[in-house]
Homo-oligomer: A and B are copies of this chain.
């Protein structure tokens, strides 16, 4: 029964989950879908930025992209609208138990969040400490501040700093990782 093809497929899924933080992504996608289904907010995932190099038009039905590369993202993963406000965030996972390494966020993304905030939007990151099972909402103002500090040497945001400056998000069954309450309470 254990066909090699099946093993391979399983291995691929695991690698992808580990690399891209699939649990967090799924929790956020489910949460956003809950918001959409209940017409509470309209927040969605952006496409992954790709640099297309070669397209094969040989088949009539669909152009096949035969060479492309992942681009360094200039914006964030999620954006949308809630109670008329522009909402924008990046979601990241870490296996560290003590701090979130800032190398996980690109400088372009920090600038993007700052731009959103300056123009009146709500900009933040969600960080999931996977081995602790804890998640935090942190406003882009703090992200900027800690990012600036990282250039002076300290290359991470500690768990204690998330506890002090962020808002802890609790996992639940239906609204998997509700974050709109933070916006209701602290922004609107």
Interfacial residues, chain A to chain B (CB-CB below 8 A)? 36, 39, 41-42, 44, 46-50, 52, 62-71, 74-75, 79-86, 115-116, 118-121
Contact = CB atoms under 8 A, between A and B. Distances in A.
Contact of A42 (B47, B69, B80, B119): B119
A29 B80 CA distance: 21
A86 to B, nearest CB: 4
Contacts of A49: 47
Contact of A67 (B52, B64, B80, B119): B64
The A interface, classified by DSSP as helix, strand, loop or mixed, is mixed
Contacts of A69: 62-65
B119 A82 contact: yes
Contacts of A36: 115
A169 B58 CA distance: 39
